[in-house]
Amino acid sequence: MKLSELKTGDRAEVTAVTAEPAVRRRLMDLGLVRGTELEVLRFAPLGDPIEISCKGLLLTLRRNEAEGITVNQLEAAESRPVAWHGLRKRHRFGKRA
Protein backbone atom coordinates (compact mmCIF):
# COMPACT_ATOMS: atom_id res chain seq x y z
CA MET A 1 0.00 0.00 0.00
CA LYS A 2 1.21 3.51 -0.73
CA LEU A 3 1.24 6.36 1.76
CA SER A 4 -0.97 8.41 -0.55
CA GLU A 5 -3.74 5.76 -0.25
CA LEU A 6 -4.11 6.14 3.53
CA LYS A 7 -6.88 8.17 5.09
CA THR A 8 -6.75 10.77 7.84
CA GLY A 9 -5.98 9.15 11.19
CA ASP A 10 -4.52 5.96 9.70
CA ARG A 11 -1.24 4.72 11.11
CA ALA A 12 1.35 2.83 9.12
CA GLU A 13 4.91 1.60 9.08
CA VAL A 14 7.25 2.45 6.21
CA THR A 15 8.39 -0.65 4.33
CA ALA A 16 10.17 0.94 1.36
CA VAL A 17 10.95 4.27 -0.22
CA THR A 18 10.97 4.09 -3.99
CA ALA A 19 11.24 7.40 -5.72
CA GLU A 20 13.70 9.13 -7.97
CA PRO A 21 17.11 9.29 -6.26
CA ALA A 22 17.05 12.95 -5.20
CA VAL A 23 13.53 12.71 -3.73
CA ARG A 24 14.31 9.36 -2.09
CA ARG A 25 17.38 10.84 -0.43
CA ARG A 26 15.38 13.83 0.85
CA LEU A 27 12.65 11.59 2.27
CA MET A 28 15.21 9.39 3.99
CA ASP A 29 16.96 12.47 5.39
CA LEU A 30 13.61 13.51 6.88
CA GLY A 31 13.49 10.18 8.72
CA LEU A 32 11.19 8.20 6.45
CA VAL A 33 13.20 4.99 6.48
CA ARG A 34 12.07 1.38 6.72
CA GLY A 35 10.42 0.63 10.07
CA THR A 36 9.38 4.21 10.81
CA GLU A 37 5.84 4.52 12.15
CA LEU A 38 3.76 7.45 10.99
CA GLU A 39 0.25 8.82 11.19
CA VAL A 40 -1.64 10.72 8.53
CA LEU A 41 -2.88 13.92 10.15
CA ARG A 42 -4.69 15.72 7.33
CA PHE A 43 -5.01 16.39 3.65
CA ALA A 44 -5.28 19.76 1.96
CA PRO A 45 -8.73 20.46 0.48
CA LEU A 46 -7.72 19.21 -2.96
CA GLY A 47 -5.83 16.20 -1.53
CA ASP A 48 -2.35 17.60 -2.00
CA PRO A 49 -0.22 18.04 0.12
CA ILE A 50 -0.50 15.49 2.94
CA GLU A 51 0.54 16.21 6.52
CA ILE A 52 1.98 13.31 8.52
CA SER A 53 3.53 12.85 11.94
CA CYS A 54 6.58 10.65 12.43
CA LYS A 55 9.27 10.57 15.09
CA GLY A 56 7.83 13.68 16.73
CA LEU A 57 8.00 15.68 13.51
CA LEU A 58 5.20 17.11 11.45
CA LEU A 59 5.99 16.64 7.76
CA THR A 60 4.11 17.85 4.72
CA LEU A 61 4.57 15.85 1.55
CA ARG A 62 3.35 16.27 -1.99
CA ARG A 63 1.08 13.50 -3.20
CA ASN A 64 3.63 12.38 -5.81
CA GLU A 65 6.26 12.10 -3.05
CA ALA A 66 3.83 10.09 -0.90
CA GLU A 67 3.20 7.73 -3.81
CA GLY A 68 6.85 6.72 -3.64
CA ILE A 69 6.54 5.53 -0.04
CA THR A 70 5.30 1.98 0.49
CA VAL A 71 3.71 1.36 3.88
CA ASN A 72 2.11 -1.40 5.89
CA GLN A 73 -1.03 -0.12 7.56
CA LEU A 74 -1.14 -0.75 11.30
CA GLU A 75 -4.23 -1.85 13.16
CA ALA A 76 -5.53 0.37 15.95
CA ALA A 77 -4.32 -2.08 18.62
CA GLU A 78 -0.79 -2.05 17.18
CA SER A 79 -0.53 1.68 17.07
CA ARG A 80 1.15 3.65 19.77
CA PRO A 81 0.14 7.19 20.67
CA VAL A 82 1.99 9.91 18.83
CA ALA A 83 3.74 12.25 21.22
CA TRP A 84 2.99 15.34 19.12
CA HIS A 85 -0.62 14.57 18.32
CA GLY A 86 -2.75 17.38 19.67
CA LEU A 87 0.24 19.41 20.80
CA ARG A 88 0.64 21.52 17.71
CA LYS A 89 1.66 24.83 19.18
CA ARG A 90 4.23 27.28 18.07
CA HIS A 91 7.37 27.75 20.06
CA ARG A 92 9.18 31.01 19.82
CA PHE A 93 12.58 31.50 21.36
CA GLY A 94 12.05 28.53 23.65
CA LYS A 95 8.70 29.76 25.02
CA ARG A 96 5.22 28.72 24.04
CA ALA A 97 3.36 31.45 22.18
Structural domain count, the chain:
1
In a domain, 92, yes or no: no
Q: Could you tell me the residue range of the domain that residue 59 belongs to?
A: 3-74
- Cβ-contact 67, 2 below 8 angstroms: yes
Domain CATH code at residue 34 = 2.30.30.90
In a domain, 85, yes or no: no
pLDDT at 14: 93
Residue 25 has pLDDT above 90, yes or no: yes
In a domain, 79, yes or no: no
In a domain, 89, yes or no: no
Is the pTM of the predicted complex or chain greater than 0.75? no
In a domain, 13, yes or no: yes
- Using one digit for the tens of pLDDT, what is the confidence trace for 48-86? 899 999 888 899 999 988 898 999 998 865 555 555 555
Calculate the CA dihedral of residues 85, 32, 50, 1 and round it to 10 degrees. -110
In a domain, 81, yes or no: no
In a domain, 9, yes or no: yes
